[in-house]
Each structure stands twice: as structure tokens, then as C-alpha cells.
Chains A and B, each alone.
Chain A
Amino acid sequence: MATGYAELFCFSNFTFLTGASHPHELAERALELGYNAIAITDACSVAGIPRAWAALKDSPVKLITGSWFELNDAPSSSIAPRFILLAKDRQGYAQLCKLITTGRRRAEKGRYQLFARDIETHELDRCFCLWLPPSTEHATLPQTIACGEWLLRLFEQRLRVAASRSLEVGEELQLARIRELADHLRIPVVATGEVHMHSRDRQPLQDVLTALRNHKTLENAGHCLFQNGERYLRPLSVLQKLFPESWIRETIQIANACQFEPGSLRYEYPPDLVPSGETPAGLLKRLTQEGERRRYPSGTPLKVQALIRKELGLISEMKYEHYFLTIHDIVAFARSQGILCQGRGSAANSAVCYCLGITEVNPTKVELLFERFISKDRNEPPDIDVDFEHQRREEVIQYIYQRYGRERAALAATVIRYRPRSAIRDVGKALGFDAALVEKLLDGIDWRDKSTNWHQQILDKGLTQNPQMANQFFTLVNTLLGFPRHLSQHVGGFVISAGPLSELVPVENAAMQDRTVIQWDKDDLESLGLMKVDVLALGMLTAIRKALELISTEKGTPFTIQDIPQEDPDTYAMLQKGDSIGVFQVESRAQINMLPRLKPETYYDLVIEVAIVRPGPIQGDMVHPYLRRKHGLEPVEFPNDAIRQVLERTLGVPIFQEQVIKLAMVAAGFSAGEADKLRRAMAAWKSHGDLTPFRDKLISGMLERGHNQDFAERLYQQICGFGGYGFPESHAASFALLVYVSAWIKRHHPAAFYCALLNSQPMGFYSPSQLVQDARRHDVTVLPPDVNFSQWEHTLEGPTHQLRLGLRIVQGLSRHGGQRIYENRPRQGYRSASELRTGASLNQRDMELLAGANAMAGFTADRHQAYWQLLDYEEPSALFAQETETDYQSEPCKQLPQPTEGQNVLADYRSQGLTLQRHPLALLREQGHLQHCLTAEQLRTTRPGIPVQVAGLVTGRQRPGSAAGVTFVTLEDETGNVNVVVWLATARQQRKPLLTARLLHVKGVIEKEGDIVHVMAGKLSDLSHLINTLPVSSRDFH
């Protein structure tokens, strides 16, 4: 009788569209069944290993790391072999990773390509090879033997023949052949389950995946599907019946010989940064001291000195010097190139990071304790995200590749998983549902409408009348949810290693050219304790850098972030009014509404402002208590000192993610480990996590400790709200700094502010048109694009800093053409269209775009005539090129009408997306189309509670997840924006105008809260047709 079993052949769902179980499901099932070991052997991949490992950590079941391969060619006179490689030890693991990398790097994203030659040339002496001989139908015996002999030469006594019992037709022949091969080659046979799923119940899903892989429906998939559902993890008793004892014994022997343990992977820091003769700790200390002299020219305050000592002690205790040095190196590179950057996240806002220049958050200004961010108990690597200017981040990425080489630096993967939409679509496809019906169904589902779940919605829509089919459909979709679909690149998480990265984890190609990703995502890295550096892109940093440059030019001396005075009352006064369009983070409508309520007066208020308008605090109903306490309408109380410590800075109301976790510990008695689990569950909640197990523990824990039920429930709601959108204080602190900097620039240098924002597009919430209107409301003069004045970028002109729109605003204009216009411009300017055409060597398309933009105002009567002139042009043939270069001004065409104001406005919008002439709404109002409608400005002085009518261009429709069923519509008129609130019932009744109108008319009731004005919508009407009548009716009017 054999004593157990080791499964050595398992596809998890990381073999996309093949495996029908998650790695952890396989792992857990192996544990239940009492297997000795289980190998996860995905196709040319180890992507599933970390998840299986996390599930088997501290369990008696051993996890074996392996991978399945099918070669693209055949060794001579045989056929392309399929086999599994299992890593015997760390070295074998490195060999495996290297082979996978070779195969993956050679092929396009998501595929691999390996040849017999690769197996011959790669060192694989620390791997077992389980050969999967071809079926008797597919290869003759001599071919099969040739294949076996080839493998035997390469793997010698590490080669086994794998046998499986799927009970399919032809199996007896195959088993006979396997015995024959084993005898002939004198190698042992090993039993495998050829596992595609952890349990037989997954057969339907496996069939669905197979059908999808083959682009078929189940009905016509035929023999692509397996004949039965036997490829699952079978109970030991069944295995013992199916396999000879010796074959089973062999599995255990191999498992015993495989000693590699993923947990043993340790990150080895790149040693490059430490010059010889210096220790990492010494170097970090030296760099910190240099930074101190820069940050505190008149001497480091004692408090900061103590902090730095403490932090350095902690860093060296945890051996994190290399991490800080790596980040410092990247940041120093960015500095040297004049690229603005700002670190955030745990450990970023420390005194050491401030001195190293990783962050601008001054530790003397904020009391952020470093210890809170590096947890000694958790033994987790610190996490610092660094934001760079979005237009220049690529330079930083290229630097990293250059500095460490592609062998040692790669991006972390992001696992793209099945979401309800994609799962429904794919299962529908496999079941042969009509694609149009499925789309109809998907469109009919109101994903935000939480009151009915989508299951019910599907039934209501009657996709299928067959209830059995409907049940199957639901089960399949539900199981498929969260399955990985493919690996994509993480937004900026870099893994940098000491040795070749491909010995640590396989590297594969990303969709983007010249990008490579590793096979693990950030959760995998975290669970294995590997470190990554986040290099992220932030548009606002680009805008700030550009604004600072403009201010420097204006002042005639360099002006940097450090020169911005701190805690400027004018800046806070502006923010308190909600005047924040363009300001980082607080420019959304919700934030604009919050600013006058929160009335930020200090930097720390901004930290809270950034974090409070988030699903977490909103769902936890923490916003109102905080505001009441801040404005002294409610006493600030703490149940006990422990809680006081956690919540003092936020007046007893939990706002940040860290506080919630901490509260779970001090108020509900969670252990550090449990709190950590809670944190992970929160992060994963949106995709596939489940928080309900924590609910009871949290609430009963809090009740036991004398907190009331209501507070406990709210805290739990807040935890749910944080799921996926968690916003920690450490990030808010860094963001708040950029909020302040951008707000200060807006308040004191508006022209530079808008100019920089416009030059950094696309970014932020608002379109150039909205930014330009806001600029004009702030008394910035904006001038139109003109071939005789504009550069490519927007610029500031003259002593009054007028904002001259650059030629880049002309949609479709070629960049090179636009630049030549500026570079080749004669001193006295262009005098005719033909001079412009030849001088800047512009093509017809660019010329037409310039005419459409009315950018030739200096020498053409209007855009119609400019265009008429341009049309009389033929590409000069080379022979007559000289002759046609005459400077000739063509006669204006009498038959062409002069453009009306309305036509000009529309043409401006078409060409630039904005107009500097009157707002279309002003024209319509003048024409008498909008009688009884109040402007945004008039609304401000209108009494609340009375019925009003408003109209405007629809610039935004939003349905925030945190506000059930409400749609917020923003209307723009010539005086500003009108905020319209549409309740669910109203929205349902008037879907058409709500969804399609470009120009919307609203009858409603005005409501006010402080300075915030809303119109509660009643009747909506679509006035979009008026836009098209603009040119006609204005001609009639004049």
C-alpha cells in the first residue's frame, strides 16, 4: 500500500482558458485530500506559484514549483515533445525561470516559443523532467522512442515518463505504450492526474474555457472538449485503484527530492549604489547628513536630529538601507534632469526621506511618525511610491533600464481578471447565446443600482426562458469572476535585482514595445516579501514645473517649490471659497463643494480634505461628525487614551485607512496579524475579497470594549468603503503638499498657472475650454492663436502676462509644422498665405487647419476668405516650382458670405474646442431662446427654495458610487457652472435628455448650503438643436 501521493501535473487558471481552478483552490484541495505534495505546472509560467504558496504556508503539503512546456519543433526524427520541468532546488528554480524567460521574451505578449535547441543549450541539471509521451494516434512508436531518447540524453536519471488515467477512449493503448517506453528507455513511470481543476464540479467551467480557447460554442466544440471530467484532484483511494503502487511511490520520491521553497526567495539588493569601501549604512547616513545641510542651512532642529537618528536606527535594524538608496538614486537622477518628483506612501514622509529629497513634506510641519509606516512586527518591506512629471516619466524609466539593465529591472505585472461584464460576455459566447442579446443584457444592467443584484436583472431581462440554463449561466459566470485573463503591466512598479532578474522570476513581454514584465503582480511580490519601487506619472507635477519656470522668467531669478511661502492666508481664503478649478486633487465637483464646508486653514486641513471626499469616510458616515467637530458644534471626545492616540489629529473621527486598521486593534482587540489580514482583505475586497468574516469579530470586539453598536457598524461600513479605494494618511500628506503648491500658484500667478496647465494637457478634470473660461474669470487676458504671435506651446506675452494660446490648440495641426511657423517667422511677420506656406513649408492640411482656426487674422479678411485663398493651390511640380512661388494675393470672392458671430463661435469650437468670443449661451440668450433662464451668476443671489429654470452646455455627467442613484450634471453658461442634481426617479423618466443632450434646459428648485448652489432637477429638455441654429439665427438677428 502506498503511503500518500504527490500530484506533479496541475494547470491552474494561470494557464489561461485551460485551467479551471485558482492556484489556492488546488492547494487547499490537496491539503484536504491528504496529498504529500502538489506541483503547480502552468504552461511556461510560474505566475500561480505565489498564490498557491500563500495557501500552503505552514501546512504539511509541500508546494513544488514547475512548469509545463510544449516545444515548437521536434528533435530529429521525432515529434515536438511536451513535458513538465520541476525545480529541485533554488538553482533549479533559477534554471526554470531562465528557460521560461527565453520562451516568453521571444514571442508576442501572452505567448511563448521554445525549440529543441533551447532545451539543449539551457542548463537544466537541477530540474526533473516529466515526459508526456504523445498519444498513439499522433505519433508512431519509433518517433516516440526517438523523442524519449533525446530527452534521456539531456535529463539522464532525472527523466520520468508520466502516465495519467483520464479514462478516455484509447487509454489502454496509451498505457501499454508507456510501459513499453519505460522498459525500452529504462526509466521509471510516474503517476500524474493531468489536473485541470481542483474538483470534478468544475467540468462545466473547464468545458466553457476550452470552447472559448478554440473559438467555438459548447454545441459545436465537439472533440475539442475533454470526454469527461476526470482531470481533477482525485482522492487517494481512487488513485490507488487506478495506478500501480510503484507509479504512485515514484511521485513521492520526486516530491521528496524537490527541495525548493518559494519562501526562500530573498530579495538581493543591487550593490551598484554603494561605492567600494563604504557600507550601505554609512552611505545612507552620509547622504542624509548632506541633505540636512541643504534642508536646514541654519542647523537641524534638535527634534529632527533625534527623529533622523531613530529612523536610521530602524532602517539599519531592518536592513532597508538599499531600498532607500535605490529610491534616492532614482530621485537624484530626476533632480539632475530637472524632473519634478514627489514621494508618498509608507516611509516616504520620514525625516530621512525629507533630507534625501524623496519628499518635500517637512517633518517639522507634520507630526507623522515614521514607525507607523515601517512596521517592525510585520517584517514587510517599506513602500514608497514616487510620482514624476507625466510627460517625462519615460526618461526615468529609461534611466532605470539603463542603470540596471533589462536583465535586472522589469515592471511588475498586473493580473487582468474577469469582471462581471467580461465573464457574462464570455460565458454567453460559449453557451451560444446570441451576441446581440448578451450585449443588450449587459447594457440593460445597471451596475450601480445596488438594490437589485445583476442576477435578478438578468432574469428580468429574460435572456433565456430555460431556468436550468439560467442557473448554469449564473454558476459559470460566478465561478469565472476573478479568474485571471492575462498579465498586463503594472502602472509603474519596478522590480530591480542584484543578479539577473530572470533567475528570480520569469520575465515576459508586455504589449507596449520595449517593456518587459515579470510574471508576478504586486500582491505576489508582497506575499513573497520582495521589494518593488513604484515609478508613477502625475500630470500635476508637469504643470507645477512649467508654472515655476514661467514664474522664474517673470521674476528673472529661479523660483522653486521651496521659495513658495508656507501657510499663506490668501491661498487658504481662495480654497475656502471653493475656487479650485485646476488645483491638484481638490478640483472635482465634490471637492469644490467640500472646501467651503471644511474651510481649510492649515496644511493638515488639506491632508484631511484630500482624504475625506472618498468612499471610505463617506460610506462610514464620518464626514458630518468631522465637520461638526471642526467647527465646534460638537464636543471632541475620546472613549479612552488608546483611541485618543489614534484619532486625536482627526478630532476623534477616523478618516484615514491607517486609523481604521489601528482602531480595529485598539477598539476591537484585533491582533497585529489579524489587522494585517484585514488590511489585505480591504485591498482585495473590490476584486475578490470578502470582508464579512471580519464583521462579527469587529463588532463584537468593539461592543465588548464598551463602544456602541452604531459606531461599530459605521466603522465596518467605512472599512467596506475603503476597499479598493483605501486612502492612507501617508499618501494624503504628500498630495496635500501639491494641493497647496498648485493653489498658491493659482492664487498669486494665475496667468502662469493656467498657461502651465494648458501646456500639460491632457490632465486633470477640466477641458482646455473650461480652463480658459476660468482663467478669464480670474482676470487673465487670453489671446487667440495667431501665426504671427503664437509659439507651439501656450506662452505669456507682454508686461501684463497675457496668455497667448499656442498653435498646439489647433486640433490636428502637425507639431513639426507648428514649430516651423514659429521658428521661420520673418521679423515683420508673415504677410500672406503663400509666404506662410513657403516660409514654414506647410502642407495643405496644416494650411487649412490654420485657416479654420482663423489664425491668419493678420492678412486675411475672415476665415471664409482665408479658406478660399488656400483652395487655389496645387502641389507645384518640381519643374515649375520656382514659378509658382510668386507672392500673390488673390481677389476676395464676392459670392462668399461673411462669417456671422455664431459661425465663428462654432468654427472656433470645431477647430480648438473653445472660443474666445462670446459664449454660445450668451448668443442664444441674446436671440431670445432662453427666456426665463437664470445664469449661474444670477443663481448665486437667488433665494433658495424657489423654482428656477437654467440652461447650459453639458460639461459633465457623473454618478458617484457613494451617492446612490444620483446623477450630477454640470451645465456651463457664459457666467460659470450650474450644478444640477438629478434623482434616480427623475433620471429614469427622462433618460433621453439626460443622456444625450449637449445643451440642456432644466426646470427645478434651487437649493443652497452655504455658498454651494444646486438645482434639483424636475423637467429636463434637450435644446441641442439650438446649437446648430447658432449661425443662421444670428445672421438673421444682425
Chain B
Amino acid sequence: MLWLYLHFPHLLLDHIQRNQDATGALVIVDGSGQAVTQACATAQELGVEVGMRLKTALGLAPDLHIMQANPKQEVWLLEDQARWLYHYAAHITLAPPDGLWAEVSSLQKLYGGLPAIWQTLEQALTERQLTAWIAIGHTPQTARLLALTGKGECTDDKGRIMTALGNLPLQAAGFDKKACSRLQRLGLSTLADVFALPAPELARRLSPELLSTVQKIQGTRADPKTPWQPPHTFRHRADFIQEVEHTQGLLFSLQRILSELEEDLCWRQQDTDTLQISLQHRHQESTRLLIRTTGPEHRAEVFLKLIRLKLDQQPLSAPVTALTLTVKRFAGRAAPTGQDLLGESQDLNEAWHTLISRLQARLGDQALKQLAPSEDHRPECAWSANAVRKPTKQPETEPAPLPHRPLWLLKGPQSLDQTPTHWLSGPERISSGWWDGQRVHRDYYIAQLPGGELAWVFRDHQDGWFIHGWFG
């Protein structure tokens, strides 16, 4: 068996960078936001290194762009790459978070030798604007260790591979920290030094686990790798370091994603009629767009045209920080009737969903809203009409009792031009919202107007009088 390993040293970084035209120094930080896990070339030129504390990095490069790593996203990204590699090799195994194995001995004939495989991959990586370190080994671990250290060579000569492997420093062998420091304290520095120790001594004085790791590297112990199966969905995401404020800014990444979709569909020999696009914003709920084609489709330009239309109708509500495109519905090319391949049972959720979809299709997305109270002292902000969401579970906290408010709140205050006959309650002073530029400062009263209606009226800080709602 011959294994090929692809190590993506900064997958997330590459992924973000290929979605922008030009960026300054950019780093990825770990989940806690403390340490730099990936740094782009510009950042490295400024002295930022992987493993550095973010504080130090900012000291070196004050204008650094920062992105926080998201384990979920890393998995998706790696699966993207697996799907791509699946075009070339049948036996693929994921090595999260940043590596892939491919069994290549069977491929040599197909491609006409190792160099051809190697070259094909390198070329494809360049096209995809991704960096990966490739290595080949007779065991999965050998390929992986050589790839991780960037010592991979396009050869299947066992002697050469073993020499390269033996020269690896202890720290690069993937031993656990304790074992590694023990070996170092014995004065050992390379993997060859470890191979030289008698196996029984290694198990006895260090640990059986260490011996097992060493043997897996050497190939004297089995190390089976389960083949990966491509999932049934297509999901791609683009992150933006600088928030995108105009539709135009999204098209660049959309184009790339759609052409990958086209490639994917072609390879699947399938079409789709529904694209789900989700636009993330920094402070708001994400915007969800549903793109439906009239019939099964796979061409990127058709999708792009539709999306353009949709975005023209519906300008961005807020700057976008990330974009996700998901396709879950696939139809075989041979069956253009649009058969649903999703075998989900029609539960209540599904029925609700179908109803909403139908209504939306009939009336347009904008026409359908869901009302909800919203905690804010300002009457106009105390409720919201949001896009329809799937019913969620009961909220965990009891909502606060609602204050005494008119059932009919006017769309905007209307000036009060009659003198009320009775003042029933008030003043209730509302002074709030200074933080978002929509400060209100009003005294509210319930008053009966000459016509007998009960009105909710207020006086603003300029002494103007307005009606804001009606009581029943």
C-alpha cells in the first residue's frame, strides 16, 4: 500500500483569503481568542508567528485583521476538500482538522505513475488557491508525519522515505507531550534515535502506547483507515474580513462557490432546483434567501442570474460578514421530473414548512411575517415582525408581564388636534434608547377624545402632542 497525505497548514486562512480581492495582515485565533493559530504571509512578514499570543501579535502588527477559528467550520472546510479529492481517489480518510489521506497505489496505473498524480494534485491545488503539503509513505503515519513537516517527496523508494522519516525531530513525531519530553530527557532528538532503542525496553520504560505509535509509523503494526463517504449535501461558506455592504461585493465569492457547485453537480450527475443562501451579519439575525429554479439545473451562470435578481429585489439589510450556500435537494439528471430524494417523513414540522413555503411562493417572501414581543421600553420597538421561523421549543425564561398598552399601536404617532375631554391616566414617562440614535423622551397619557375614543397620547420634549394608539 502506498499512502498520500495532504496537509493544509492554513486552510481557514486560505479559504478566507481566496474570497477577498486584497487584504492586509490576517490571522486566525483559537476559540478563546488568545493565541494565533494561523498567520498569513503579510502577518508573518511583520513578525507574527503561529502560537504567539494575540496580544504580542497585535503589538507587532497593530492593524491586524483577526478571525476566530470555528471548529465546525473547519470540519466543513475539510469535507469540502475531501469531496474534491474524491474526484481523484476512491479511498479517502479524513484527518481532522487539517489533513486528508488517499490510498494511491491503485491509482498509479490510472494516472501513469506517481509523478503524474503528484502534478495533477499540485495543479488543482493552485487553481483552488489552497496551500497543501503533500507527502507519500508506506504507512499512513509516515505519509502524515512527512507531510506535516513539509518533508514530502515524490518518491516511493522505501529507503529514501525512511531516511527522511528518521531525520524528523522528536517533536514532529506526534508522540504525546509526556512521552516526548521523556525521550528528550534521555538525550534523544530524532525519530531514528527512537527506532534504535530495543522495542521491549521502549514498551517497558516508556509505555506500550508509545511502542504502538512507533510500530504504526514503521508499519509493523496494522493501522487501518476507514474510507470516507461523501455526504448528500453541498455546503460552502465564504467569510469576509471586511464586512460587505453592497450586493456587488458578494458576487465575487458567489461566482467561485457556484462554479464549485456546478463541478460537484456534474460529478454527481445530478441537478438541483433549490439553493439556500444565508447571509450572516455582525449584530443581526442572518438573512436567509431561498433560490428556486424553474426546473432542475446545474449551470453556475443560471444560478448566479437568479441570485442577482433576488438580491436586486432585496437590498442587504446590514453588512454581511459571511455567506453560506447550501444545497440539499438533488435530482438525478435522468429523472427531470424533480423527484425528491430526501426521504424525510412528513412530520408536523414538515407540514408547517410546506405551508410556509407555499404561502411564500404565492405571496412573496416579504409578505409573510411573524409577530413577537420584544423587550424594549420604546413602544415602537416593543414588538417586531420577523421573517417566519420554524416553531422553536418553549423559551426557557418566562417573558415579563406585558405593560398596559393599547392593542392598536399606530404605525407612527399622529398629531393630536382635539382637546381630550377626560384624562384617565398618566403621565408615564418613557425616556430610553439613547444608544441607537432613536432616543425617545415622552410623557404618555390615556385620554378620552371628544368622540369618545380612548386614545394613547403623548407629549414629546418639544411640547408637541401626539396620538400613538387606540384602546378598545
Contact = CB atoms under 8 A, between A and B. Distances in A.
A230 B429 CA distance: 8
A468 interface: yes
Contact of A218 (B187, B435, B443): B435
A137 B402 CA distance: 11
Given A219-B435, A228-B430, A991-B59, A864 B185 contact: yes
Interface string B31-57: 001000000000000110000101110
A432 B283 contact: yes
Contacts of B451: none
Contact of A439 (B54, B185, B189): B54
Interface stretch (A163-171, A730-738, A799-807, A826-834): A163-171
Interface stretch (A406-414, A750-758, A892-900): A892-900
Contacts, number: 128
Contacts of B377: 222-223, 225, 227-228
Of all A-B residue pairs in the complex, the 9 with the closest CB atoms, nearest first, are: A222-B375, A992-B47, A228-B431, A167-B429, A871-B205, A864-B187, A443-B58, A169-B403, A228-B429
B430 A436 contact: no
Report the contact-size class of chain A (Cβ under 8 Å from the partner): 35 or more
Interface in A830-862: 848, 851-852
A435 B29 CA distance: 13
B26 to A, nearest CB: 13
B58 A867 contact: no
Contacts of B428: 167-169, 171, 227
B62 A444 contact: yes
Interface of B: 29, 33, 46-47, 52, 54-56, 58-60, 62, 64, 66, 68, 182, 185-189, 193, 196-198, 201, 204-206, 282-283, 374-377, 400-401, 403-404, 425, 427-432, 434-437, 441, 443
Contacts of B62: 443-444, 461
5 contacts: A223-B375, A852-B185, A872-B204, A991-B60, A992-B46
Contacts of A168: 428-429
A167 B54 CA distance: 48
A643 B206 CA distance: 78
B187 A903 contact: yes
A440 interface: yes
Contacts of A897: 187-188, 193
Question: Quick one: which of A443, A468, A863, A897 has the most chain B CB within 10 A?
Answer: A443
A941 B188 CA distance: 43
B178 to A, nearest CB: 11
Contacts of B283: 219, 432
Nearest to B374: A222
B55 A895 contact: no
Interface of A: 137, 166-172, 203-204, 207, 218-223, 225, 227-230, 431-432, 434-436, 439-440, 443-444, 461, 468, 472, 848, 851-852, 863-864, 867-868, 871-872, 893, 895-899, 903, 907, 991-992, 995-996, 1031-1032
Given A227-B377, A228-B431, 11 more contacts: A204-B435, A222-B376, A222-B377, A229-B431, A230-B431, A436-B66, A440-B66, A443-B55, A868-B205, A871-B206, A995-B60
Nearest to B382: A222
Residue from B29, B376, B428 having most chain A Cβ neighbours under 10 A: B428
Nearest to B440: A228
Contacts of B187: 863-864, 896-899, 903
Given A852-B185, A864-B186, A896-B187, A225 B58 contact: no
B435 A431 contact: yes
A967 B211 CA distance: 51
With most chain A CB atoms within 10 A of its CB, the pick from B54, B198, B400, B435 is: B435
A893 B430 CA distance: 83
A207 B205 contact: no
Contacts of B193: 895, 897
A741 to B, nearest CB: 41
B205 A472 contact: no
Contact of A228 (B282, B401, B432, B437): B432
Contacts of A207: 432, 434-435
A896 B60 contact: no
Contact of A468 (B64, B66, B425, B437): B437
- Dominant secondary structure at the B interface: mixed
A436 B33 contact: yes
Contacts of B437: 468
B319 to A, nearest CB: 11
For chain A, what secondary structure do more than half of its interface residues adopt (helix, strand, loop), or is it mixed?
Answer: helix
Given A203-B434, A207-B434, A218-B435, A895 B197 contact: yes
Given A872-B204, A991-B60, A436 B68 contact: yes
B431 A227 contact: yes
A870 to B, nearest CB: 9
Contacts of B196: 895
Contacts of A431: 435
A137 B400 CA distance: 10
Nearest to B49: A996
A912 to B, nearest CB: 14
B42 to A, nearest CB: 14
Nearest to B58: A443
A587 to B, nearest CB: 28
Which of B186, B427, B431: most chain A Cβ within 10 A? Answer: B186
Contacts of A461: 62
Contact of B432 (A227, A443, A864, A867): A227
Contacts of A439: 33, 54-55
B56 A872 contact: no
Contacts of A893: 197, 201
Contacts of B46: 992
Given A220-B375, A995-B56, A996-B47, A167 B427 contact: yes
A227 B430 contact: yes
A899 B185 CA distance: 10
Contacts of B443: 167
Contacts of A228: 377, 429-432, 441
A218 B378 CA distance: 13
B399 to A, nearest CB: 9
Contacts of B430: 227-228
Given A167-B427, A167-B429, A992-B60, A435 B47 contact: no
A895 B189 CA distance: 12
A340 to B, nearest CB: 40
Contacts of A898: 187
Contacts of B376: 222
A207 B432 CA distance: 9
Nearest to A995: B59
Contacts of B431: 203, 227-230
B135 to A, nearest CB: 24
A867 B404 contact: no
Contacts of A863: 185, 187
Nearest to A166: B429
A853 to B, nearest CB: 11
B182 A170 contact: no
A359 B29 CA distance: 55
A56 B289 CA distance: 64
Contact of B56 (A171, A871, A996): A996
A461 B198 CA distance: 60
A227 B205 CA distance: 70
A907 B198 CA distance: 25
Contact of B186 (A896, A996, A1031): A896
Given A864-B185, A867-B185, A440 B435 contact: no
B47 A991 contact: yes
A444 B430 CA distance: 39
A849 to B, nearest CB: 10
A207 B425 CA distance: 27
Contact of B182 (A432, A444, A871): A871
Contacts of A203: 431, 434
Contacts of A169: 403-404, 428
Contacts of A472: 434-435
